[in-house]
Amino acid sequence: AQSVTQLDSQVPVFEEAPVELRCNYSSSVSVYLFWYVQYPNQGLQLLLKYLSGSTLVKGINGFEAEFNKSQTSFHLRKPSVHISDTAEYFCAVTTPRGSEKLVFGKGTKLTVNP
């Protein structure tokens, strides 16, 4: 079975600072990896995904993530955050064609302060 660990439950940063949200996964088979974002009072929406190929994945709103198989990590980064990036971010893992097996991390609450 797959599992995912988000190493920080809360990350406060100042506007225009860089940010990294950390995610590690565990799986004995190949995986698909996702980052979802949940803005206040909204459902989750896909930020980016890694299926195969290039290990650097670019998503919406200037976010990117790098798949590192040797370190079993999929950290999310943004070089300069905005107030509007304040949200909860969820890392998720599944196996190919296994949507019912999608496992979410516990979430990281990013707060961007002026």
Partner 1 sequence: DADVTQTPRNRITKTGKRIMLECSQTKGHDRMYWYRQDPGLGLRLIYYSFDVKDINKGEISDGYSVSRQAQAKFSLSLESAIPNQTALYFCATSEAGTGDEKLFFGSGTQLSVL
Shortest reach from residue 65's CB to partner 1, in Å: 15
41 binds partner 1 per the rule CB under 8 A? yes
When binding is defined by CB under 8 A, the residue of 17, 51, 60, 83 that contacts partner 1 is 51
User: E-strand spans in the chain?
Assistant: 3-6, 10-14, 19-21, 23-26, 32-38, 44-50, 56-58, 64-68, 73-78, 87-94, 103-104, 108-113
12 binds partner 1 per the rule CB under 8 A? no
58 binds partner 1 per the rule CB under 8 A? no
22 binds partner 1 per the rule CB under 8 A? no
90 binds partner 1 per the rule CB under 8 A? yes
When binding is defined by CB under 8 A, the residue of 78, 94, 110, 112 that contacts partner 1 is 94
91 strand-pairing partners: 35
How many residues bind partner 1 (CB under 8 A)? The answer is 24
For 11, how many CA atoms within 13 A lie in the half-sphere containing its CB?
A: 23
When binding is defined by CB under 8 A, the residue of 42, 54, 70, 114 that contacts partner 1 is 42
What is the Cα–Cα distance from 33 to 12, expressed in whole angstroms?
Answer: 24
Question: Token digits for 24?
Answer: 């590690």
What is the Cα–Cα distance from 60 to 113, expressed in whole angstroms?
Answer: 21
List residues near partner 1 by CB under 8 A.
9, 32, 34, 36, 41-46, 49, 51, 90, 94, 96-100, 102, 104-107
